[in-house]
Amino acid sequence: MRKPTFPLRSTREGRASFTQAKLAKPDPWPTSSISVVDLTALRNRDELEVIVASVLFDLIGPTKLILWRIARHGGELRLQRRVQLTQGHVAVSDMLVDPSGLPALDSRAELRACYESRAPLRVAACRNSRHGQVFPVASEREIVGFLEVYHRAALSEDQVRLVCGLLRIYRNYLRVLDYGECDELTELLNRKAFDDYFATLVMPQTRLPEALAQPKRLGKRRAASADQHPWLAVADIDHFKRINDRFGHLYGDEVLVLMARLMRSSFRDTDRIFRFGGEEFVVVLGNTEGDFAEQTLERFRSTVEAFDFPQVGRVTISIGHTGINAGDVGSNAFGRADEALNITKQRGRNQLQCHEHLAAQSVFQAKALIEAAEIEMF
């Protein structure tokens, strides 16, 4: 079977950048070149979205197919056009898009109605298509996006069942991934998920089936300026053992669950939050300036300090953070942030420290000299 080739052509839509790829011929693919096997072979959720859209495009042959992802910004639901396929073109959005530049869910009445009903709905026709339909894309807990399909003829009942069936397979597969990647207590991502995510963060190459793997990089992750890059922060609940000893592990677990909720409300959708175990959490901030990263982390620290934890009362948190550079290794970045966290604890806790700032002040060199002197005296 003829394999499509994808020469690149970049375009822009709002603040989301797209990579346009042109097929060898504009005719629709006669048979499915991508299968459900390709879907279940992947572990990267961002790549899974591309595969789901591509499989459905092959199977039902629409004139246009759009996969939307729901993003959150300031308590408002936004829409990110994650994948768009037409006969002859495929476009994949940049994952590190600023959600503040995305349209609100309420700007699309039909998508809002689909979100509320959690059921497929007819939508207005578009150019070259007389029929449109939107399907909710759900995880186990919530609606996470929409599949918008346009066709010259109304979808048959069999086609609707096919779409709904594949989306159910996708939902169940997400559940399997959640089970392996999420912390059971807090429902945050776990350390294994951190290792996988960090690898794609510093080496964002897309590993897709051969039919979609030319070029290997489907999208470009670009910071708004050279001063922007990701940041990694390690946060540790202060004196957590005292909480468990005084109030019991049941209340200690409740503190962890509430801390996870505070973290979700304090950081952006493009940020990633992990529980490493015990009272230790990791946050990876998307591309931003150092000052903004520090302001974001300080705002989170003060939010925790001001929160009234049931029965326990006041809880504080210490944070160490560092910048992530191209080619960085997860263990190295974590180690730098952890070093900064240790200085935070030595200086009284309930504060944050930046590894780069401490290194510029020669704090680590001085600490090493003191430790060496203590060992020699011993």
What's the confidence (pLDDT) of residue 343? 95
Answer whether residue 223 shows pLDDT above 50: no
Angle between helices 157-181 and 45-60 (to 10 degrees): 170
Q: Which two tokens stand for residue 235?
A: 């946060």
Q: What gap in Å lies between CA 79 and CA 105, rounded to an integer? A: 6
Q: What gap in Å lies between CA 238 and CA 241, rounded to an integer? A: 9
What's the confidence (pLDDT) of residue 228? 83
Whether 279 sits among the annotated catalytic residues: the reply is yes
Chain mean pLDDT for the chain: 81
pLDDT in tens, 255-268: 999 999 999 999 98
CATH of domain 229-377: 3.30.70.270
Q: How confident is the model at residue 285 (pLDDT cuts 50, 70, 90)?
A: very high
272, with CB counted inside 10 A (0-12, 13-18, 19+), is buried
pLDDT in tens, 44-64: 677 788 888 888 998 899 999
- Give all strands of the β-sheet with 272-277 in edge-to-edge order: 272-277, 280-288, 229-237, 317-323, 352-354
**If you average pLDDT over residues 124-148, what whole number do you get?**
88
Q: How confident is the model at residue 367 (pLDDT cuts 50, 70, 90)?
A: low
**Angle, vertex CA 373, rays to CA 368 and CA 378, nearest 5:** 125
pLDDT in tens, 286-305: 888 999 999 999 999 999 99
The second-level CATH assignment, the architecture, of 8-196 is 2-Layer Sandwich (3.30)
Q: What gap in Å lies between CA 179 and CA 184, rounded to an integer? A: 8
Q: Do strands 352-354 and 317-323 pair parallel, antiparallel, or not at all (unpaired)?
A: parallel
pTM of the model: 0.69
Chain centroid offset of residue 302 CA: 24
Higher local confidence (pLDDT), 252 or 17: 252
Domain with CATH 3.30.70.270 in the chain: 229-377
**If you average pLDDT over residues 221-241, what whole number do you get?**
80
Share of the chain above pLDDT 90, in %: 50
What's the confidence (pLDDT) of residue 195? 86
Q: How confident is the model at residue 10 (pLDDT cuts 50, 70, 90)?
A: very low
Choice among 279, 298, 339, 374 that is catalytic: 279
CA distances to 11, 142, 295 from 323, rounded to whole Å, are 29, 33, 14
Q: Count the alpha carbons within 13 Å of 307 in the hemisphere toward its beta carbon.
A: 21
What's the confidence (pLDDT) of residue 277? 86
What's the confidence (pLDDT) of residue 94? 67
Q: What gap in Å lies between CA 253 and CA 276, rounded to an integer? A: 14
pLDDT in tens, 161-204: 999 999 998 898 888 877 778 898 999 999 988 988 887 776 65
Q: How confident is the model at residue 209 (pLDDT cuts 50, 70, 90)?
A: low
Q: What gap in Å lies between CA 337 and CA 356, rounded to an integer? A: 9
pLDDT in tens, 86-135: 876 878 876 666 777 889 999 999 999 999 999 999 988 877 778 999 99
What's the confidence (pLDDT) of residue 216? 32
Domain with CATH 3.30.450.40 in the chain: 8-196
Q: How confident is the model at residue 233 (pLDDT cuts 50, 70, 90)?
A: very high
Q: Which two tokens stand for residue 371?
A: 């430790």
Q: What gap in Å lies between CA 372 and CA 378, rounded to an integer? A: 10
